[in-house]
Amino acid sequence: MIEPNRNGEVWVYAEQEDGALHDVALELCGKVRELADRLGVKTGVVLAGWNVRELAYRLFHHGADRVYLVEDRKLEHFQTQPYARVVCTLIEKHKPQIVLFGATAVGRDLAPRVASQMRCGLTADCTDLDIADVDDPSAKKTHKNLLLQIRPAFGGNIIATIVNPDRWPQMATVREGVMPLRDPDMQRKGEIVAEKIKFEERDFAVRLIERHREPRKVNLKGARTIVAGGGGVGSKANFKVIHDLAGAIGGAVGASRAAVDGGFIGKEHQVGQTGTTVRPALYIACGISGAIQHRAGMEESAKIVAVNWDKEAPIFGVAHYGIVGDLNQVIPMMVKAIKERPKE
Amino acid sequence: MPYDSIVCIKQVPDTANVTADAMKADGTVNRAALPAIFNPDDLRALEIALQVRDQHGGTVTVISMGPPKAADVLRECLYRGADRAILLTDRRAAASDTLATSYILAQAIKTVGRYDFVFCGRQAIDGDTAQVGPQCAEKLGIPQVTYLEKLVELRDRTARIRRNVGNGWEIVEVGLPVLVTVLDTAAEPRPPAARRVMKYKRAVVRAELDAAVKAERPSATAAELEAEVERRAEPLRARGLMMEQWNLDDIKADLSWCGLAGSPTKVHRVQAIVLTKQGYTEIPATEDGVRRLVRELVVDHTLG
């Protein structure tokens, strides 16, 4: 735990694997830039690994002022304990006021270990972050400029705002894909601060024996347009209409849990709380009723079009455009209209 | 070689089957309207621990922190084969966040004493944080292996574990003791064994006896209640049907690390999900309507 430090930097833990940065690290760079500007402080990024120095420049382009670089052959593959030692040592040394991690398999493994060691708070899977003054009526005081950590809870049925008033740093993991990935500023420069960490033998208690990575075949997160089908599509064969529309637009194919459970399409296409969170420019939901778990994963989309025969379906509550009708008739009309669309 | 395991389990509201009654008008959760269930990941954690014992010998101890009602899930563990069940219950532990919870659980684990494995579910469905396992490991000063999909090999106090890391998997090797978090895809939980159900359906914790006696004798004095509870507990104890019940003093917890005082995170605000959007246009399901929609999307640059 560190004392509240109003001049502290706003940090991101930069997840990388085999020398490639995880998208969420760059998304968070943009977010901490925004938070740090509001607080009038600098941004910092913890970058640990082996032969990863080059990645610092991408982090600068995305908003980092300082990159705390820890290079060590022992850090070639992620392991919880040595990486936790890196983050904790740097927090104690530089006293940042905020530290963010991606809510990835790595981030959700590392951040709680760090929080426990620092004895500070940690909010999981945030979908939004903000800065505000927070009144504490019991202590009759106002905490200035706290990090508001906003996350769905209780199976996505409520939105909770969590604060960490006095046991700092304020830490949170943030879902992938919820913060926009901003365009890099290729002229932006920053400072690399090389750090040396002393490890202990016991930090390396877990040994990696074998590793297998599956290339992501479906890139829902990166898609600008998503056409998603739900239980209302009715069958695997009929899912062809969804593929047709996605093909006409040049978008990715998404699905609700009902469609995945029905065997219409693979789980890697699932959008929603247990699938992928997306925020494309356009989301077309076809035959999706819009259970809260699904909406939680797509309602941030810039434009939502819903096609459903049931005019009471909750999906219309988040849609910008609604078409009440049979998707088997409406989708072919859309394909035709898109192919014949006027050129802007 | 026998191995002793401790499994941390939680009783949770069934958030996957939320109905309209689950939310009160003020936006808070009506826990009473939700059935309480065995947290799904924890059931798999128990199964892995039971498999270790069945194959190698040793013991399985389950610990649950919660209100007296959590005794339900402890009985479930006994039905499935757990050797020892401990309820950790104390009003002073209420409102604990993940850090305080992990401190309390770690104190309880230390109180149990000897163990080779601590198994936890990856996360609980009411909070989905996945934090308590790793935080507990840190408090115990032992390594953690998260996202177990399969216990590949166990010999000479060394475990090989296959972890599912989302975009693939890896196999890691670790010496014991270790804390392992288990995915819900790890193992199909065994059903309760009929013979054990017959035996352990009468198993209780002290708080349940207290409540039962109090309900039957509302006018009895504290001393009378105490005597009656003890009279009923005696034969249950003899038959191994008194589950242990611990409070924060029993595990020598520092109260400044428990409950609200021990929780760095504070809930600032809770809102029921309110659907927000700007403008809604209903498009008729006709060729003309669809054509108009596509035109609008082109004009505002949503479609190229």
CA dihedral for A253, A258, A263, A269, sign (positive or negative): positive
pLDDT surpasses 50 at B70: yes
Chain B residue with minimum CA distance to A276: B166
Rounded distance between C-alpha atoms, residue A15 and residue A168, angstroms: 22
pLDDT surpasses 80 at B264: yes
Write the DSSP symbol of residue A314: G
pLDDT confidence band for B275 (50 / 70 / 90): very low
Contacts of B233 (CB under 8 A, 6+ apart): B206, B209, B242
Of A160, A216, A302, the CB nearest to B167: A216
Chain A residue with minimum CA distance to B284: A323
**pLDDT tens digits along A282-324:** 999 999 999 988 998 999 888 999 999 999 999 999 999 999 9
The answer to whether residue B140 is domain-embedded is yes
- Judge: B285–A117 Cβ closer than 8 Å, yes or no: no
Q: How far is A300 from chain B (nearest CA, A)?
A: 10
Higher pLDDT, residue A3 or A35 = A35
CB A213 within 8 A of CB B168: yes
The answer to whether residue B238 is domain-embedded is no
pLDDT confidence band for B276 (50 / 70 / 90): very low
DSSP, collapsed to helix, strand or coil, labels residue A247 as helix
User: Average model confidence (pLDDT) for chain A?
Assistant: 92
Rounded distance between C-alpha atoms, residue A232 and residue B14, angstroms: 26
pLDDT surpasses 70 at B304: no
Rounded distance between C-alpha atoms, residue A328 and residue A340, angstroms: 19
The answer to whether residue B198 is domain-embedded is yes
- The reply to whether B132 touches chain A by the CB within 8 Å rule is yes
- Beta bridge partners of residue A129, listed in sequence order: A149
Chain A interface test: which of B24, B99, B104, B288 (most A C-beta within 10 Å): B99
**pLDDT tens digits along A125-180:** 998 899 999 998 888 899 999 999 998 777 666 778 999 999 999 999 998 767 77
Rounded distance between C-alpha atoms, residue A70 and residue A106, angstroms: 17
Which residues between 135 and 174 in chain B have a beta carbon less than 8 angstroms from any beta carbon of chain A? 135-139, 143-147, 160, 165-174
B293 alpha carbon, distance to own chain's centre: 48
Residue A221: predicted pLDDT: 79
What's the token pair of residue B291? 């054509």
Write the DSSP symbol of residue A277: -
The answer to whether residue B265 is domain-embedded is no
Chain A interface test: which of B286, B297, B299 (most A C-beta within 10 Å): B297
- Judge: B160–A123 Cβ closer than 8 Å, yes or no: no
- The reply to whether B95 touches chain A by the CB within 8 Å rule is no
pLDDT surpasses 90 at A214: no
pLDDT surpasses 70 at A344: no
pLDDT confidence band for B115 (50 / 70 / 90): very high
Contacts of A14 (CB under 8 A, 6+ apart): A21, A22, A25, A29, A45, A46, A47, A55, A59, A67
pLDDT surpasses 60 at A187: yes
The answer to whether residue B223 is domain-embedded is no
The answer to whether residue B166 is domain-embedded is yes
Chain B residue with minimum CA distance to A330: B285
- Judge: A303–B302 Cβ closer than 8 Å, yes or no: yes
Residue whose pair of structure tokens reads 């004009």 in the numeric block: B299
Q: The whole model's pTM is what?
A: 0.82
Contacts of A240 (CB under 8 A, 6+ apart): none
pLDDT confidence band for A67 (50 / 70 / 90): very high
Rounded distance between C-alpha atoms, residue B78 and residue B89, angstroms: 18
CB B181 within 8 A of CB B120: yes
What's the token pair of residue A323? 């078409």
Q: How far is B34 from chain A (nearest CA, A)?
A: 11
Residue A156: predicted pLDDT: 63
Where does chain A have alpha helices with state H? 23-39, 55-61, 80-94, 107-118, 240-249, 257-261, 292-295, 327-339
- Judge: A119–B99 Cβ closer than 8 Å, yes or no: yes
Report the first-to-last Cα separation within chain A, whole angstroms. Answer: 56
Measuring CA to CA, how many Å separate B285 from each of A243, A290, B259, B297?
20, 19, 56, 16
CB B43 within 8 A of CB B189: yes
Residue A202: predicted pLDDT: 95
For residue A48, what is the enclosing H or E element? strand A43-49
pLDDT confidence band for B274 (50 / 70 / 90): very low
The answer to whether residue B22 is domain-embedded is yes
**Which of A190-204, B18-32, B260-274 is the least confident region?**
B18-32
Q: How far is A189 from chain B (nearest CA, A)?
A: 32
pLDDT confidence band for B15 (50 / 70 / 90): confident
- Judge: A320–B132 Cβ closer than 8 Å, yes or no: no
Q: Specify the CATH number for the domain of residue B86.
A: 3.40.50.620
**pLDDT tens digits along B136-179:** 999 999 999 999 999 999 999 999 999 999 889 999 999 999 99
The answer to whether residue B300 is domain-embedded is no
Q: How far is B96 from chain A (nearest CA, A)?
A: 11
The domains located in chain A, with CATH, are 10-204 (3.40.50.620), 225-339 (3.40.50.1220)
What's the token pair of residue B252? 């020598």
**pLDDT tens digits along B47-60:** 999 999 999 999 99
**pLDDT tens digits along A227-265:** 999 999 999 999 999 999 988 887 889 999 999 999 999
**pLDDT tens digits along A261-286:** 999 998 889 999 878 889 888 999 99
Chain B interface test: which of A154, A163, A199 (most B C-beta within 10 Å): A154
Go through A136-147 and write b for each residue having 16 or more CB atoms within 10 A of its CB, e for each that does not.
Answer: eeeeeeebeebb
DSSP, collapsed to helix, strand or coil, labels residue A140 as coil
For residue B151, which residues of chain A lie inside 8 Å, CB to CB?
A: none
Name which of A344, A313, A343 is nearest A327 in CA terms: A313
Share of chain B above pLDDT 70, in %: 92
Which three-class secondary structure string do you get for chain B?
CCEEEEEEECEEECHHHCCHHHECCCCCECHHHCCEEECHHHHHHHHHHHHHHHHHCEEEEEEEECCHHHHHHHHHHHHHCCCEEEEECCHHHCCCCHHHHHHHHHHHHHHHCCCCEEEEECCCCCCCCCCHHHHHHHHHCCCEEEEEEEEEEEECCEEEEEEECCCEEEEEEEECCEEEEECCCCCCCCCCCHHHHHHHCCCECHHHHHHHHHHHCCCCCHHHHHHHHHHHHHHHHHCCCECEEECCCCCCCCHHHCCCCCCCCEEEEEEECCCCCCCCEECCCCHHHHHHHHHHHHHCCCCC
pLDDT surpasses 60 at B273: no
- Judge: A322–B22 Cβ closer than 8 Å, yes or no: no
**pLDDT tens digits along B214-253:** 999 999 999 999 999 999 999 999 999 999 999 999 999 9
Give me the mean pLDDT over the B73-88 stretch. 98
- On the 0-12 / 13-18 / 19+ scale of CB atoms within 10 A, B163 is buried
- Beta bridge partners of residue B119, listed in sequence order: B7, B180
The parent domain of residue B60 ranges over 3-205+243-257
Name which of A258, A223, A314 is nearest B275 in CA terms: A314
Residue A175: predicted pLDDT: 84
Which residues between 225 and 264 in chain B have a beta carbon less than 8 angstroms from any beta carbon of chain A? 263-264
Rounded distance between C-alpha atoms, residue B216 and residue B206, angstroms: 16
How many domains, chain B? 1
Rounded distance between C-alpha atoms, residue A112 and residue A123, angstroms: 9
Q: How far is B103 from chain A (nearest CA, A)?
A: 9
Rounded distance between C-alpha atoms, residue A86 and residue A67, angstroms: 13
